[in-house]
Amino acid sequence: MSQTVDAIATQGLRKSFGQVKALDGLDLTVAQGEIAGFLGPNGAGKSTTIRLLLGLIRADKDSGPARVLGQDPWRDAVELHKRLAYVPGDVSLWPTLTGGETIDYLGSLRGGLDATKRDALIERFELDPTRKNRTYSKGNRQKVALVAALAADAELYLFDEPTSGLDPLMEAVFTGCLSEIKAAGATVLLSSHILAEVEKTCDTVTIIRAGRAVESGTLADMRHLTRSQVEVVLRGPAAALARVSGVHNLQVSDAVRASFACDNAALEAVMAELVELGIESLTCTPPSLEELFLSHYSVPAAAPSQLAAGPDRHGAGRRSDSESGPAPAQPASGSDQNASERHSSSGANAPAVASNEEA
Amino acid sequence: MGAATDVRRAPAPGVRRGAAGGGELAGFWKLVRGAVRQNRVRLIIWVLAVPGVTVPAISSYSSIFETRAGAQARAAIMATPTGSVFGGPGYGLDNYDIGASVANELLLWLNLTVALAGILLVIHMTRREEETGRLELVGAAAVGRRAPLAAALAVTGAEVVLIGLAMGLGCMVYPELDKGDCLAFGLIIAVTGLAFSGVGALAAQLASTARAAGGLAAAVLGVAFLLRAVGDTAQVQGDSAWASWLSPLGWANQTRVFVDLRWWPVLLTLAFAAAFGLAAWLLAARRDEGSGLLATRPGPARAPKGLLSPSGLVWRRTKNSLFGWGGGALVMCLAMGPAIGSMGGYLENNPAMAQMLGVDPAAGLDAMVEGFSGVIVLYSAMLVGAYVITQIGTLRADEFAGLTARCLAEPVARGRLLGATEITVGVSALLGMSVAGLGYFAVVATDSSVGPDVAPAIAGSVLRALPALIATVALASFLTAGFPRLAALSWAPFAYAFIHMLVGNILGLPDWARFFSQFTAVPLAPNTDFEWAPAVGVLAVSALLFYAAHRRFATRDLLA
Amino acid sequence: MTRTGGQPDGAAATEAESQPDGIGQSEGSRPDHVVDVKDLVKRYKEVVALDHFDLSIDKGEIFGLLGPNGSGKTTAINCILQLLTYSRGEIKLWGEPMSPTRYDLKRRIGLVPQQVAVLPELSVTENIDYFCSLYVDDKARRRRLVGEAIEFTGLERFAKFRPKKLSGGLVRRLNIACGIAHQPSLILFDEPTVAVDPQSRNAILEGIRRLGAEGATVVYTSHYMEEVEQLCTRIMIMDAGRAVAVGTNAELKSMVGIGERIRVELDFPDDAVLAAVRALPHTQHASLSGQTLKVACAPGARNLADVVEALDRADVSYGRVFSEPPTLNDVFLELTGAELRD
């Protein structure tokens, strides 16, 4: 069996800017052919990671290794970039060039773009390539960057907030492009704040916080260990469901109306029970990525150095801003917090989700 | 927040003053206060720096004027074409004292500085406010439609007046300068500043970006400078030819402050300021926010072949700048033609002056031309050097904007990007300098009143300046690519060269002091001997800087 | 044919054209309408940014304005604020005609623009005070308002900070504070959550809900469908300078053909089950991709029940089942995507 190299593999990656630790032992693995989501609060280290993978900055001396498509991103940068494509967040362009010229120029740096592909993408994204860059809105600038990257024939695509500024129509076009990339066997690392987008398109997700990966695995894995919310109106008494295993937090009203959280592993059996009781109406919704992962964005009350803002509205999990100024330097207490939270797709997730649903 | 709900249901008391409460200028004073607070650092620096640097410099003049001979020698320099171009029409030369010297030598530069201050300030407070979206936020408030423009004009106007007054008051420190004239001096500077603030305000309405507005206003300033220069050199000793009367800079000189003060040219400047300000005012009403009146034309959908390489992109972005700065140098050189012609005539008619300069009239012209050619070549080199620094500076701007990062994500080595910029800017700078030099050479060679040896000597002089340009590229590259936050230091050798040139002799600087700037390291004047050592030294230092630039750029983290 | 409507008495969204006798328009502006825009036309040379655009917003609504880039959302807002001139149209706020010098009306409006437009050299408190001073003259009252705004947006700890020391989410909150400090009755939010992390985004949405609860009327422009769905009481979809559809979330979704989408992860792909599901009365479309059975159903309460029963009858084993109601995104894509393709 041939050994396929991971598209991205980092182990214990470290990067500091002066006193500030931007990356504090990051482990990130993306297999080839995968669309990997990359999530985290502002200041967690997402952009630093991507810049490191692109050879724009160099890891610390005591850092663990990083490999992109089997090569060293700093030393072999030029070689490696023939196989990579990149879309930065918040794009800046040369004001006096037109969109079309910009795309062609960037393409020329990699030896030229496939003209048919380029033209097709320009049309799909409804971009007017004759307008000067400075007349473009944010969304249009984003489109220029997208076309320039998507028209390249790369093995690995690095996207940093690629759809910010795009309207849903164009987002749908982008998602279509992602499917095509996947079908061609290429790999994608998608860093985004838009959880719905990640949920729809990614195979795996890694969450980074304070320079470390705190969560990583496939969405399916993570969902599997969680529960779907079921609302049902039965023809028989709904109280009978209390005894069915896999049913949690059962609430019955009007004797026949029930609402409960159901372990995904037990869904088939529960559905069979429902069919036996007789279903009048049924809805079943999976947990959203937002519910699953929002807990990772909030800062626990214990850490004194982290600034919270605003009154606590929901009780479970404080909403607060974990960043102020440059990437936060996490003191010892903060990293202990991370250590206790750091797990990948373990059962510890389930109770967290349940408590959110109960709230 | 119960009280808040009540407020929302009914308008706050006292608000219903009527539909036009405040009219078009509602909120004017609030905006002024906001603008002053927002820009306080900038405003304070200008007001302190301009007099702070110039007023003490005047004290260095007293040594010149100790003897009558010294004074007259200085006056003679003012009478030369260089003096006219970079000073003024030269009045009061028979009785040259400190006052006259301040008027002839400093007034122009002060006017240029305050004009620049006015342009930059007014554009910053109008166009830039639009670009950041603040104007939209302000416009939505209970603020008159033209109040922001009025506030910008008011603050800029007040600032230039303050600078002028500070200059005027500063001059009063010197007992040799008449107090009334000092005040006039300050006011003239203030009014010239107002004139160009008006130009900046109009440019901000016409252009579509702050940058374009700045370019437009700077171009107008450049034309004003040129017109005055051409006019002043055409006729020496007092009255300028008509060209100089088309320029606010010329009007300022024509007041003959400190010598024979007459007020009426200032009225022309005031009218100029009012006209431009009014034009800006009227246009502001027509324009939708965020647009400019000069529309942007569409461009090509595909890049031309020439753009498809790092050098191609650099050239595309810098060529306008080259034509601007290099063109400026060329025009200056060509303008020397009529100046030299008239100089010859002047010396023939004024043997006394020729004698004072210690030469016999016939040979005198050659010596004069060779003498001031050094200055012309130096200024040309500095203009082209300014082009170099501003263009290599785009590397820094690109880096902070994340563009360099985007380009380096492609299979292109860092050295290639840097090298492309260095070579394109460097070669074009050398070419630009050569073209300007060629223009000067042609002008001198075709002038029959000048001896045949002068033109070749001038060609040699131009060649001597080339290492300085290479060094400028090297230093700018080293700083921009190596230590982008320190990039502004590239200008240091310019400042040094200026100071060295203006007051070096007076301060009695030792000879080795000239090695601190690439522009003064190699003597440029054709009538001095060419020294190999400094030229080689400059080139050697350049090579080191290039090497260090590449090494550093290849190994450091990118900043954005 | 475009559809618009949205009556205050909750009637289903109806079809209307840009003719002047559209429903509700011939009655004249009612005192409850906070915003009343009729027949607004704005041109930039040849480009028509607003094409006989109508808009009416009632008091207390959180009104969502959706549309692709270039549809005219920001242009409409700027016209209402009198920042742009327009060739045709009538704009009334609280029943009064709006003009650039109606400062009394402007004082009741707050704007939170898309671009963060704060003054970099001033602290948080100074910034809010500056913008508030453009609306409120009384110093004492202003001081109180600034304090309340800081508290509302949770910026107490950062009151003395300059914007450059604040993170993206915090600066956005400052932007909001500057826009609402003077406690306007009508607040216009122009895409306030672009590129904002989910936590700050939730804080912002929560803040907007509170503003609505306190009696303000809110106009909210965004691309993020989920936000608009969660937040807005009534929604307008715009395209090419016109209103394409107006109504509540439920009304808009009823305009779209799809009732819900069901996904079942079968343990083994089974064509018989596919056929059985296709035969169900409400099935519009069913497909099998790998092991996943995807079904699109017309609106109906029994959709999922029918599918589960069909699976049960076919004695097929399966893993997870998902039922997704149509999202606003579906509505948007169907209403605007289709038109653009014509």
Q: Would the CB atoms of A130 and B301 count as touching at under 8 Å?
A: yes
- Beta-bridge mates of residue C234: C63
* pLDDT score, position C22: 35
Question: Band of the pLDDT at C10, cuts 50, 70, 90?
Answer: very low
Of all residues in chain A, the one with the smallest CA distance to C156 is A309
Average pLDDT for chain B: 83
Of A64-78, B345-359, C113-127, C307-321, highest mean pLDDT: A64-78
Q: Would the CB atoms of A94 and B403 count as touching at under 8 Å?
A: yes
Question: Band of the pLDDT at B139, cuts 50, 70, 90?
Answer: confident
Give A15 or B288, the one with higher predicted confidence.
Answer: A15
Q: Would the CB atoms of A310 and C199 count as touching at under 8 Å?
A: no
Mutate to test the interface with C, among A141, A271, A280 (most CBs of C within 10 A): A271
Of A202-206, A311-315, B236-240, highest mean pLDDT: A202-206
Whole-angstrom CA distances from A102 to A89, A132, A164, A185, B91 are: 17, 10, 20, 27, 55
Q: What is the mean pLDDT of residues A135-164?
A: 92
* pLDDT score, position C232: 92
- Out of B15, B141, B288, the one facing C134 most closely (by C-beta) is B141
- Out of B301, B310, B407, the one facing A129 most closely (by C-beta) is B301
Lowest pLDDT segment from A46-60, A209-223, C24-38: C24-38
How many other β-carbons are positioned within 10 Å of the β-carbon of residue B296?
16
- A78 touching B (Cβ < 8 Å): yes
Question: Band of the pLDDT at B157, cuts 50, 70, 90?
Answer: very high
* pLDDT score, position A301: 33
Torsion angles phi and psi, residue B498, rounded to 5: -60, -50
* pLDDT score, position B84: 75
pTM across the whole model: 0.75
- C178 touching B (Cβ < 8 Å): yes
Question: Band of the pLDDT at A23, cuts 50, 70, 90?
Answer: very high
Whole-angstrom CA distances from B377 to A22, B330, C20, C72 are: 52, 11, 73, 56
Count Cβ neighbours within 10 Å for each residue of C239-259 and write b for 16 or more, e otherwise.
Answer: bbbbbbbbbbbebbbbbbebb
Question: Band of the pLDDT at B151, cuts 50, 70, 90?
Answer: very high
* pLDDT score, position B287: 65
Q: Would the CB atoms of A282 and C304 count as touching at under 8 Å?
A: yes
Q: Is the pLDDT of residue B16 over 60?
A: no
Give A18 or A333, the one with higher predicted confidence.
Answer: A18
Q: Would the CB atoms of A104 and B313 count as touching at under 8 Å?
A: no
Give the pair of three-digit tokens for residue A226: 């969680």
Q: Would the CB atoms of C113 and B27 count as touching at under 8 Å?
A: no
Question: Band of the pLDDT at B294, cuts 50, 70, 90?
Answer: low
Torsion angles phi and psi, residue B149, rounded to 5: -65, -40
Give C195 or B531, the one with higher predicted confidence.
Answer: B531
| Architecture of the C28-253 domain | 3-Layer(aba) Sandwich (3.40)
Lowest pLDDT segment from A113-117, A256-260, B23-27, B339-343: B339-343
* pLDDT score, position A222: 67
Question: Band of the pLDDT at B117, cuts 50, 70, 90?
Answer: very high
Mutate to test the interface with C, among A191, A221, A224, A283 (most CBs of C within 10 A): A283
* pLDDT score, position A247: 87
Mutate to test the interface with A, among B131, B305, B309, B410 (most CBs of A within 10 A): B410
Nearest Cα of chain A lies from the Cα of B10 at a distance, in angstroms, of 29
Tens of pLDDT, residue by residue over B241-251, are 777 888 899 89
Mutate to test the interface with A, among B211, B302, B309, B315 (most CBs of A within 10 A): B302
Q: What is the mean pLDDT of residues C255-262?
A: 79
Give the pair of three-digit tokens for residue C87: 């060739």
Please tell me the distance from the alpha carbon of residue C146 to that of residue B173, in angstroms, as a whole number.
48
- Out of B300, B407, B408, the one facing A101 most closely (by C-beta) is B300
* pLDDT score, position B121: 93
* pLDDT score, position B22: 59
Q: What is the mean pLDDT of residues B168-182?
A: 89
Of all residues in chain A, the one with the smallest CA distance to B553 is A56
Q: Which residue ranges make up each domain of chain C? A: 28-253, 259-325
Question: Band of the pLDDT at C339, cuts 50, 70, 90?
Answer: very low
Lowest pLDDT segment from A200-204, B141-145, C50-54, C126-130: B141-145
* pLDDT score, position A99: 95
Give the pair of three-digit tokens for residue A236: 């028989």
Q: Is the pLDDT of residue B361 over 60?
A: no
Q: Would the CB atoms of B139 and C83 count as touching at under 8 Å?
A: yes
Tens of pLDDT, residue by residue over B374-425, are 878 988 899 899 899 989 998 998 998 899 999 999 999 999 999 999 999 9
Nearest Cα of chain A lies from the Cα of C19 at a distance, in angstroms, of 28
| Architecture of the C259-325 domain | 2-Layer Sandwich (3.30)
3-state secondary structure labels for all residues of chain C:
CCECCCCCCCCCCCECCCCCCCCCHHHCCCCCEEEEEEEEEEEECCEEEEEEEEEEEECCCEEEEECCCCCCHHHHHHHHCCCCCCCEEEEEECCEECCCCCHHHHCCEEEECCCCCCCCCCCHHHHHHHHHHCCCCCHHHHHHHHHHHHHHCCCHHHCCCCHHHCCHHHHHHHHHHHHHCCCCCEEEEECCCCCCCHHHHHHHHHHHHHHHHCCCEEEEECCCHHHHHHHCCEEEEEECCEEEEEECHHHHHHHCCCCEEEEEEECCCCHHHHHHHHCCCCEEEEEEECCEEEEEECCCCCHHHHHHHHHHHCCCCEEEEEEECCCHHHHHHHHHHHHHHC
Is residue C42 a contact partner of residue C198, using CB atoms and an 8 Å limit?
Answer: no
In what side-by-side order are the strands of the sheet with C47-58?
C47-58, C33-44, C88-93, C96-97
Q: Would the CB atoms of C134 and B24 count as touching at under 8 Å?
A: no
* pLDDT score, position A263: 80
Average pLDDT for chain A: 78
- A218 touching C (Cβ < 8 Å): no
Q: Would the CB atoms of B19 and C108 count as touching at under 8 Å?
A: no
- C336 touching A (Cβ < 8 Å): yes
Of all residues in chain A, the one with the smallest CA distance to B405 is A56
* pLDDT score, position B278: 93
- Out of C158, C309, C321, the one facing A284 most closely (by C-beta) is C321
Give A170 or A351, the one with higher predicted confidence.
Answer: A170
Q: What is the mean pLDDT of residues B285-293?
A: 60
Please tell me the distance from the alpha carbon of residue C316 to that of residue C314, in angstroms, as a whole number.
5
* pLDDT score, position A339: 31
Q: Is the pLDDT of residue B508 over 70?
A: yes
Q: What is the mean pLDDT of residues C268-280?
A: 87
Q: Is the pLDDT of residue C168 over 90?
A: no
* pLDDT score, position B556: 95
- A106 touching B (Cβ < 8 Å): yes
* pLDDT score, position B283: 87
Q: What is the mean pLDDT of residues B472-482?
A: 96
Beta strands in B448-549 (DSSP E): none
* pLDDT score, position A177: 95
Please tell me the distance from the alpha carbon of residue C184 to that of residue C198, in angstroms, as a whole number.
27
Question: Band of the pLDDT at B208, cuts 50, 70, 90?
Answer: confident
- A224 touching B (Cβ < 8 Å): no
Please tell me the distance from the alpha carbon of residue C237 to that of residue B190, in angstroms, as a whole number.
55
- C85 touching B (Cβ < 8 Å): yes
Question: Band of the pLDDT at A187, cuts 50, 70, 90?
Answer: very high
Q: What is the mean pLDDT of residues C257-277?
A: 84
Q: Chains touching chain B at 3 or more Cβ pairs under 8 angstroms?
A: A, C
How many percent of chain A have pLDDT more than 90? 44
Question: Band of the pLDDT at C308, cuts 50, 70, 90?
Answer: confident
- A167 touching C (Cβ < 8 Å): yes
Give A131's contacts in chain B (Cβ within 8 Å).
298-299
* pLDDT score, position B7: 33
* pLDDT score, position A141: 93
Q: Would the CB atoms of A297 and C198 count as touching at under 8 Å?
A: yes
- A57 touching B (Cβ < 8 Å): yes
Q: Is the pLDDT of residue A356 over 60?
A: no
Question: Band of the pLDDT at A3, cuts 50, 70, 90?
Answer: low
* pLDDT score, position B297: 76
Q: Is the pLDDT of residue A73 over 90?
A: yes
Give B276 or A288, the one with higher predicted confidence.
Answer: B276
Lowest pLDDT segment from B206-210, B220-224, C5-9: C5-9
Lowest pLDDT segment from A162-166, A308-312, B155-159: A308-312
